[in-house]
Amino acid sequence: MQQIEASELIINNRGAIYHLDATPDEIAENIITVGDPARVAEVSKYFDSIDIERSHREFVTHTGWLGKKRISVVSTGIGTDNIDIVLNELDALVNIDFTTRTIKNELKHLNIIRIGTSGSLQADVPVDSFVASTHGLGIDNLMNFYIHDNNEEEKQLLHSFVTQTQLHSQFSYPYIAGAAMSLMKHFVDGYYQGITVTCPGFYGPQGRVLRLGITNPQLIDRLTDFKFGHHRITNFEMETAAIYGLGKALKHNCVSLSAIVANRIHKNFSDDGSVTVEKLIVKTLEIISEKL
Residues lying near ligand URA in the complex (CB under 6 A) are found at 117-119, 202, 206, 237-238, 261-262
Closest separation between CB of residue 88 and ligand R1P, Å? 18
- Minimum distance from CB of 88 to ligand URA (Å)? 22
- Contact call for residue 136 and ligand R1P (CB under 6 A): no
Residue 27 beta carbon to ligand R1P: minimum distance, rounded to whole angstroms: 19
User: What span, in angstroms and rounded, lies between the C-alpha atoms of 191 and 129?
Assistant: 7
Task: Number of residues interacting with ligand R1P: please give it, by CB under 6 A.
Answer: 10
Which partner in ligand R1P, ligand URA, none is near 200 (CB below 5 to 8 A by kind)? Answer: none
140 binds ligand R1P (CB under 6 A): no
36 interface partner picked from ligand URA, ligand R1P, none, CB below 5 to 8 A per type = ligand R1P
Residue 206's binding partner out of ligand URA, ligand R1P, none, with CB under 5 to 8 Å set by partner kind: ligand URA
Question: Of all residues in this chain, which one has the CB nearest to ligand URA in the complex?
Answer: 119
239 binds, among ligand URA, ligand R1P, none (CB under 5 to 8 A by kind): ligand R1P
Report the residue closest to ligand R1P, judged by CB.
35
How far lies 278's CA from each of 59, 87, 115, 193, 194, in Å? 20, 24, 10, 20, 22
Q: How far is CA 255 from CA 11, 138, 205, 267, in A?
A: 28, 15, 23, 27
Q: Which listed range, 33-41, 169-177, 189-197, 224-232, lies at the site for ligand R1P (CB under 6 A)?
A: 33-41
Please select the residue that binds ligand R1P; options are 21, 36, 84, 140, rule is CB under 6 A. 36
Q: Give yes or no for residue 202 binding ligand R1P (CB under 6 A).
A: yes
Q: Tell me whether residue 30 or residue 235 sits nearer to ligand URA (CB atom).
A: 235
Q: Are 82 and 91 in contact (CB under 8 A)?
A: no
**Between 96 and 138, whose beta carbon lies closer to ligand R1P?**
138
| Contact track, ligand R1P, 222-241, x by CB under 6 A | ---------------xxx--
The verdict on 117 binding ligand R1P (CB under 6 A) reads yes
Contact predicate 221/183, CB 8 Å? no
Q: Give the chain's length.
A: 292
Q: How far is the CB of 166 from ligand R1P (least distance, A)?
A: 25
For ligand R1P, the closer CB: 165 or 270: 270
Please list every residue from 65 through 84 that binds ligand R1P, using CB under 6 A.
78
What residues line the site for ligand R1P (CB under 6 A)?
34-36, 78, 116-117, 202, 237-239
